[in-house]
Amino acid sequence: MKQRTNLRSEAGKHIILIIGALVVILPFYLMLSFSFKSPAEIQSISGGFFGAQEMMTDRKCLKAERSEEECTMLPNSI
Amino acid sequence: MTQSRSHIWFVSPAVLLMFVILILPVFVAGTFSFTDYNLGSQDFRWVGWKNYESLGKFSSYKKMFTASLTYVVIVVPVSVLLGLGSAMLISSLRFGGEFYKTVFFLPVMATLLAMAYAWEFTLDPVIGVINKFLDDGCSVGWFYKLFTGSWLGFNPTESWYGGLCNDRMPNWLGNKKYALGSISFIGIWQAFGFNMVLYLAGLTSVPRDLYAAAEMDGANSTWEKFKLVTWPMLGPTHVFVVTITSIRSFQVFDTVEALTRGGPSKSTYMMVYAMFEKGVKQNLIGMGSALTIVFLGFVLILTLTQVYFINRKVHYS
């Protein structure tokens, strides 16, 4: 009986600490996730953790009269 | 018998450095605070107490004192209690303590300016995950009931969260009703991990036999042991933690500069930000120096209070 109470109390402590840890980690998680996503995915809160990793074209680069191949890249390689 | 004076030669470099680096700038700031000096100008006028009088006269400085004190009053107790609570929970765990210690200490190690931008994204009214989470919660029955208090019989539309669900989610950093609370939340998030480490160190120094003695005297519950043994034995730690957290709270700058720049309507206009704005941005060295001296006064009072309590009141050993 006492062992079960101890287990419950231990589980309760872990639940409280996990909730706290989630709040603490939230901005770190978002910062890491945003580093993989395109601006459009960040603004629409979509694409999961890594984003779709689709190739994107830099319009400023195109305006500078560089080739489309040069201006197309993965979101996190800008 | 001639007394050797060699000790003066050993001490003088340290004294000289302390005077040049610590004391002289305070005297210079104190002198400038009585002038209207602007950086780069050839001359200045002595204006007496005018800069200090401005601090009590203009509403922006009154708002500055209100915002700074409110911030300290929110951040210090909450981060101290969270630090103590998490330290006690972690120290009583059988496993996993090291993981939580590492996670809770992460914000202390992180650069606050960078993290402020991460929080800006998190708290953004349109793309922020906090508002997305709250917005999604409006359509989840148990979540809506929990946060509106309707499970206790309250009218959900009259509650804060119910009002948000019917209207729109808050602009956490752009609305003066929420801005100071949001900045304080980030302050608590950053500060409590450091307090946790200090309390963990304090808890290891509480002798175990005191708990056994308290049990023999009839203190059986966890609360009684905490009240009679843990809390009083942590006395010096409390004083140190409260003083350090208060000083660090008065020094808040990064989050204000990155997120609100003192606004909206000066609701987050903190002392160090005001010093920066007056002295650096607006080049009003006299006013900036007066703010610095007042700020130093606050920190000095806190430090002297700590010294008083540490020397007289809180030692049990």
State how far the Cα of B170 lies from the Cα of B167, in Å rounded to an integer: 9
The answer to whether residue A12 is domain-embedded is: yes
SS3 A57: strand
Per-residue confidence (pLDDT) for residue B1, from 0 to 100: 53
SS3 content of chain B, % helix, strand, coil (to 5): 75, 0, 25
Q: What is the pLDDT of residue B136?
A: 87
Which of B 26-85 lie inside 8 A of A, CB atoms?
82
Residue B232 preceded by cis peptide, ω within 30: no
Residue A78 lies in a domain: no
Convert the pLDDT of each residue in A1-42 to its tens digit. 667 778 888 899 999 999 999 999 999 998 888 888 887 788
Question: How confident is the model at residue B186, as a pLDDT?
Answer: 94
Q: What is the chain B residue with the closest CA to A35?
A: B118
pTM: 0.85
Over range A48-66, report the average pLDDT.
78
- Per-residue confidence (pLDDT) for residue B71, from 0 to 100: 95
The tens place of each residue's pLDDT in chain B, 317 residues long, gives 567 788 888 999 999 999 999 999 999 999 999 998 888 788 888 888 898 998 888 888 899 999 999 999 999 999 999 999 999 999 999 888 999 999 999 999 988 888 998 899 889 888 888 888 888 888 888 888 888 887 877 787 788 888 888 888 889 999 999 999 999 999 999 999 999 999 999 999 889 899 899 989 888 888 899 999 999 999 889 988 998 999 899 899 999 999 999 878 899 999 999 999 998 898 889 999 999 999 999 888 888 887 787 766 655 55
User: What pLDDT is recorded for position A34?
Assistant: 86
Q: Domain for residue A33, yes or no?
A: yes
Determine, yes or no, domain membership for A6.
yes
What 3-state class would DSSP assign to B213? helix
User: What are the residues whose beta carbons fall under 8 Å from the beta carbon of B109, sequence distance 6 or more?
Assistant: none
| Interface size between A and B, measured as CB pairs under 8 A | 56
Evaluate whether residue A49 is within a structural domain: yes
Structural domain contains residue A21:
yes
Q: Where are the beta strands (DSSP E) in A1-78?
A: 56-57, 72-73
A16: chain B residues, CB-CB within 8 Å: 89
- A14, A28, A44 member nearest B96 (Cβ): A14
Residues of chain A contacting B, Cβ within 8 Å: 10, 13-14, 16-17, 20-21, 23-28, 30-31, 34, 42-45
> b/e string for B49-59 if b means 16 or more Cβ within 10 A?
ebbbebbeeee
Instruction: Let me know if residue A17 belongs to a domain.
Output: yes
**Distances from the Cα of B118 to the Cα of A27, A43, B107, B170, angstroms:** 6, 14, 12, 18
Counting Cα atoms < 13 Å in the Cβ hemisphere of A61 gives 12
With respect to residue A48, please indicate whether it lies within any of the assigned structural domains: yes
B189 vs A23: CB contact, 8 Å cut-off?
yes
> In the prediction, which pLDDT does B275 show?
92
State residue B271's pLDDT score: 92
Which tokens sit at B119? 């929080």
Indicate the number of domains in chain A. Answer: 1
For residue A49, what are the domain limits?
2-73
Closest alpha carbon within chain A to B114: A31
A76 pLDDT band, cuts 50/70/90, is low
Q: Which residues of A touch B127 (CB under 8 A)?
A: 42-45
